[in-house]
Amino acid sequence: MKRVICGLAALGAATLGLSGAARAADAVTLQLKWVADAQFAGYYVAKDRGFYKDAGLDVTIKPGGPDVNPEQVLAGGGADVVVDWMPSALATREKGSPVVNIAQPFKRSGLELTCRADSGVKSPKDFPGHTLGVWFAGNEYPFLAWMSKLAIKTDGPPGVTVLKQGFNVDPLLQKQAACISTMTYNEYWQLIEAGMKPAQLVVFNYTDQGVATLEDGLYALEPKLKDAAFTDRMARFVKASMKGWDYAQAHPDEAVKIVLDNDTSGAQTEEHQKHMMDDVNRLTQGATGALDPAAYAGTVKVLLSSGSDPVITKEPQGAWTHAVTDKAGITAP
């Protein structure tokens, strides 16, 4: 009898062990485009609120920075999925890396060109003869497309002089440039927090100018999507992430607190993150997570219109898929 009981106990332990293994969370590593801030609140909220855990996932979120190229991290195996802007992703794909858009949490663009009112720039026709700050590393292409649309050269007078802008607003504050690149949710508020008044600024939004491109999409490597298990893992990740974004919409103050808790640098402030969260929520509002094919086509059209060092030279093929969002039960627009 004793041997039978021991045998049953051993069998029970083995069964529990197998059950525990079956319930083990699947690891996912997400590489962000930038540092921990409200631009990525949905992912931090999903992790903090247990949405990833509920989906059977163990998610590691890796902050980015000025020296981090998400596409290189992805290609090198340092992440399963990355956040990046579509111009950068399409350029990378054309150069041979099989990156593909699997989801699009950001529905709208937040890119702007913000000018000093005292620079004399009141409309785009005033750009020639001025110095304009522009981000590079793939973020310059919407600007180049816009200048091409305006028939303004970007190699100095009589066109514009392009200043390779760092990720700060110093060139405008110090009058090194008439205009600089800003995001609605970040650098614009840095200018206001530095003491500038809205009346001292003239803002040109890329969407209003008809040259906006998709930002902050989720990208994975195309060959990995041939693995049904990987696609299932990404589907659960995207669905839980969108739940995080929905929660950030409904609870912005809590989302800010979660972001600040994940800021290991201690550089973020509550005031700035609240401004960011409000504006980021405007960009994600109404998004399901599934890429809108019309928005994708609009981005490609803008990029192909650039006459100066275009980001892509031909219509991309296979650059996006609904396979992941379909698996997640997310309806495309």
Query: Average pLDDT of each block of 10 consecutive residues along the chain (333 residues)?
Result: 42 39 84 97 98 98 92 97 95 96 98 97 97 88 87 93 94 98 97 97 96 96 98 98 98 98 93 97 97 96 75 92 98 78
pTM: 0.91
**What's the CA gap between 187 and 289, in Å, rounded?**
25
What is the pLDDT at residue 23? 67
Do 25-107+214-327 and 111-205 have matching folds?
Answer: yes
* Domain residue spans of the chain: 25-107+214-327, 111-205
Distance of CA 81 to the CA centre of its chain: 12
Domain 111-205 has CATH 3.30.930.10: no
Residue found under tokens 């530095």: 194
Q: What element of type H or E holds 103?
A: strand 99-103
Beta partners for residue 101, in sequence order:
219, 320
What is the pLDDT at residue 117? 98
What is the pLDDT at residue 67? 86
**Which DSSP symbol is given to 293?**
H
**What's the CA gap between 104 and 322, in Å, rounded?**
10
Question: Regarding the domain with residue range 25-107+214-327, which homologous superfamily does it belong to in the CATH classification?
Answer: Periplasmic binding protein-like II (3.40.190.10)
Please list, residue by residue across 155-191, b when 16 or more beta carbons sit within 10 angstroms of its beta carbon and e when fewer do: eeeebbebbebeeebebbbeeebbbbbbbbbbbbbbb
**What's the CA gap between 17 and 226, in Å, rounded?**
30
What is the pLDDT at residue 15? 39
What is the pLDDT at residue 12? 45
